[in-house]
Every structure is written in structure tokens, then in C-alpha cells.
Amino acid sequence: MSSVERYFRILEHLADVPSDDLWAQHLGEVCATVTRTSGAAIMILSGSLVSGSWCTTDATSRLIEDLQFTFGEGPCVEAHMLGKPVLEPDLADPEVRRWPAFTPPVLAAGARAIFGFPVRIGAARLGALNLYRDAPGRLDAEQHADALVLADMAARAILAVQADAPPDELAAELEAGANFHLEVHQAAGMVAVQADCSVVEALVRLRGYAFRNDRSIADVAEDVVRRHLTFTMPEATGS
């Protein structure tokens, strides 16, 4: 199948969107359907936009995205950083063990294989497409090729929607129905002031605290925003 034929075949699936408000969710569902995987998600991971999940298709894909955001590791994070697909056909018995914090809860949720594809156009890296399966196994050549086209479509859709937004603001169409962890970003800003560090380092501190205390980063962020938890050198303190 040529790339043009593949592109238009996928467009036929996308044309069935029930409404503009559900377009992102529909795109995620098409990603899972076309690649014949158990679920999909699209994560926005751009320095100029708030990071988080644009869409998820089910409870497991939502958990996968939340865990990647909490721990800062996983296939989407790695695919975004490397600019190439990151494929793990057997999370339970990988050839190379990675993602020590991310992998155990993902396996417990029933995912056995997971794949990340960068969402990018040229040098512009916007995030990653995540696919998972509830059984181990590699993507075949057709599935892999379809995932690359879908990731490209997601990138073009994000850029098209964001083009009309004011500078440094997230387009309303991207924010609708998405989970961009706004409270986490607010908490990171507060921690940066408390600990006299960069926002990037503050986010690392939030993730480290969440991991050490077996909590989600969202729960930790809520405590920071409500001023039940402060981060000062060298340790966080609670009230």
C-alpha cells in the first residue's frame, strides 16, 4: 500500500466524527482501531504548550498517560525526546529493562505491550502517540506504518488548532476534554519559588516526592496548591 493510499484510508475513518467537540477523542479511537491495538492516547509534550494528555481511549490508556506524567518516563516521553518510535513488545519480559517506576503499575493495569511514536513536523516536536495492547507482541509492518501516518496527522491537527490561539496560550479546542494537569503546573511554579529553583527542577522534585511516597503527582500538587505541603531546601514539609 502506498503512503498516499494509507493516508486516504485513514482519512475515511476520521470523517465519521460525530461532532467537532469530540474530534480529539475520535482521533484517539481511530488510532486504536486502525492499528488494531487495545487503546491509544495522544500526549502533548511541547515546551511552548502545557504538557499533558490531549485524548485517551479508555481507563488503561488514561492510567498510562498519568503515570508517564507522574514519573517523567515511558514510551511517549522517550519517543518525544529521541524523535523516533519507542517500541516495547513485552513489558513483562523486555530485552532491555527500563522505566522502573512506570512499568509495574502499567503491567498491573493489564497492558503487556506498549509503543510510542513522536508527534512532530520537521524540527517541531509536539508530543507522542501512545498505543498499548493487552497481549505481548510486536506491531507488524502495516500497523507500524499506520501509526506513523496517524502520528503525523495528530501533529498537523495540533498545529492547525493552535495556530489561531494567542501566543503562549493553549487553544480552547486543545484544552476541551483534555487533561493538561494544570494544577500540577501551578504547583511546580509554587515549588520553584519555595525552593528557589527552576520550574523544570520543581517538577522533578514533585515527581520524586510522589514516587517516594507512592502517590500520584496530581495528589501531591493538590497539597502544594492548598498549602498543606511546602518544598524547601532540602526536604518537603507538610502541615
**Per-range mean pLDDT, top range of 45-59, 128-142, 215-229:** 128-142
Residues 6-42: pLDDT tens digits?
888 998 888 876 666 677 888 999 999 999 999 999 9
Q: What share of the chain is helix, strand, coil (3-state, %, to 5)?
A: 50, 15, 35
- How far apart are the C-alpha atoms of 36 and 30, rounded to whole Å? 9
With residue 32 as reference, give the H or E element that holds it: helix 23-35
Summary mean pLDDT of the chain:
87
**Do 83 and 77 contact (CB within 8 A), yes or no?**
no
pLDDT at 132 over 80: yes
| Contact in structure between 125 and 118 (CB atoms under 8 Å) | yes
For domain 3-175, give the fold: Beta-Lactamase (3.30.450)
Concatenated DSSP letters for 175-233? HTT-B--HHHHHHHHHHHHHHT--HHHHHHHHHHHHHHTT--HHHHHHHHHTTSEEE-S
Residue 237: is its pLDDT beyond 70?
Answer: no
* 237 vs 223: CA distance, rounded Å: 11
Query: Could you state, in order of their start, the residue ranges of all structural domains in the chain?
Result: 3-175, 182-238
* pLDDT score recorded for residue 130: 97
Question: Is-cis flag, bond preceding 234, omega within 30?
Answer: yes
Distance (Å, rounded) from C-alpha 205 to C-alpha 187? 11
pTM exceeds 0.95, yes or no: no
Nearest of 202, 140, 155 to residue 46 by alpha carbon: 155
Residue 213 has pLDDT above 60, yes or no: yes
